[in-house]
Amino acid sequence: MNQQFSIIPVQMQMANTLKELEACNDISEQFGLCLTTDQMIRLAKTRFRALENAGRVEFGEGILKKLIYRFCDSPYLMQNNYEDSLSELQEIFYYFKNESMEKLSDDELIDAMKNVFDGKAQGSIEYLSGTSLENLCRIIRGGAIEEEIEIDEEDYES
Amino acid sequence: MNHNLIPLNDELSVNGGIPSDLLAVQVRLWELLAKQTARYTMGDSSSIPIELANELLSSICFTLGVDLSNPDTLKSLLNDDLEELFKIGLSSIKQKIDIGKQLWEEAWLSIPAIENISLRDTLNGIGTFFKRYDYRYFAHTIPCDIDYQLCNPVPETLLGVEYVNEYLRRLIIEHDFLQRFDPQLCIQILECYCQDYKGLLINLFEPIATNAIGLSLIGCSVFKLDVLEAERKQVVEILKPLSKGKCIELLCRAAERTCLNLGIRHEKAKQYMISLSSELYPRIQAAMSSGSMGKIFISVS
């Protein structure tokens, strides 16, 4: 199943992705974030791998451009972790997209991710990826994350 | 049927396509798929699951009328304006839906006065098909249950509304045939054929038509429907000494005579009967050697 779309002119899409990422640098540079050509190529490749892992097909502009535009003003994104962060955000995005059963638009999902990333997660991608879709949806509706309170057994006994 | 791009690639290669042409076709279909996806998601999502993409692609190919076995497919996909072809395809499907609705009404109006749960459930189900059928995005699908088995099934190569319309056309032929007989007589034959003919997934037309062909073969009136033991022996006497080809020929002629006697003039209905008669031969041959002709030509007495 995953191979069915593998013969689509990947090179064509790859070239488009590189052009888009180049254009994104103009915006992200204002926040001290810039991708080198090698980083762009790696990210473009990661895009196809992430899509394949998520079992999805993407048309036109990839999601990277939107992620960059939305996340580049985050105080938690630094030049030294920019490429890795984008790569992971991309994977998380496709994961949540599947989880949401196509009920969330790209923009809604990215807004919710940004909200958690800059808020509760304080820049921790691990925290973001561990956030449940229910909580993300709650954020979309304007609510706050519901804390999962873990009770330590010793505390409980004392 | 799945119109994913790899089989398309294979088929086109077989039909003499050159790699650059294949690439061009892929790009053109990919562009159309991208547009359809954007319409489907209303621009909300740049990506969709592969399964959904395959469904949308299958629908596009169905709408475009892409026939992978036709060598002209490549030419058409390369040279014609696909977006325009797609629009024409959609309006053609719309017309087929209208035809289907008329056929559905005709099938209800011609339903024989014989109780059968699956027949009525299927006709009700086809009614919901016209409500659920999303021909813009899933034209190749059949979103309803079709349980009632036809005597001569619709080929699985047909999809979407084309399958449903062909099913209804065949069902109407069967209904029209059954309408020409006394319903009580039909019920008696069906009771002998299968006690629970109302509840089980059996075809109502086949036992009645088989009896009619048998009676026609021995020169009796088809309207009496009941095939007596002596008449079954007559059938055996006629067919046993003959070769397979000759037997099938006689059975086909009997089917034609049945249509003539019943006043069935429509060519498709005649062909439907002839196709049943040619399929009867292996069953008759097996029954002749095992002496169980009573299971093919039903007797009420």
Residue B150: strand, helix, or coil: coil
Task: Report the domain count for chain A.
Answer: 1
Segment holding B202, helix H or strand E: none
Q: What tokens appear for B182 in the block? A: 């006394």
pTM: 0.84
A&B contacts, CB < 8 Å? 71
**Sign, Cα dihedral of B97, B98, B101, B102:** negative
Distance CA B170, CA B256 (A): 17
**Is A9–B53 a contact, with Cβ atoms under 8 angstroms apart?**
no
Owning domain of residue A57: 2-146
Nearest to A4 among B4, B27, B52 (CB): B4
Q: Is residue A110 domain-resident?
A: yes
Q: What tokens appear for B184 in the block? A: 């009580």
Residues of chain B contacting A9 with CB distance shorter than 8 Å: 23, 26-27, 30
Q: Is residue A152 domain-resident?
A: no
Residue of chain B minimizing CA distance to A63:
B46
Residues of chain B contacting A53 with CB distance shorter than 8 Å: none
Q: Is residue A153 domain-resident?
A: no
Within 2-41 of A, beta carbons closer than 8 Å to B belong to: 2-5, 7-9, 12
Q: Is residue A158 domain-resident?
A: no
Q: What tokens appear for B11 in the block? A: 């088929």
Q: Is residue A156 domain-resident?
A: no
Q: Is residue A131 domain-resident?
A: yes
Q: What are the distances in angstroms from CA B70 to CA B4, B60, B65?
A: 17, 17, 11
In contact, A56 and B48? CB cutoff 8 Å: yes
CA dihedral A92, A98, A102, A108 (to 10 degrees): -10
Q: Kindly report the CA angle at A44 between B137 and A64, in degrees rounded to 5?
A: 65
- Print pLDDT tens along chain B (301 aa): 334 444 455 555 545 555 677 778 888 888 899 999 999 999 899 999 999 999 999 999 999 987 656 667 777 888 888 999 999 999 999 999 999 999 999 999 999 999 999 999 999 999 999 999 999 999 999 999 999 999 999 999 999 999 999 999 999 999 999 999 999 999 999 999 998 999 999 999 999 999 999 999 999 999 999 999 999 999 999 998 999 999 999 999 999 999 999 999 999 999 999 999 989 999 999 998 888 888 899 998 7
Distance (Å) from the alpha carbon of B250 to chain A's nearest alpha carbon: 50
Residues of chain B contacting A2 with CB distance shorter than 8 Å: 50
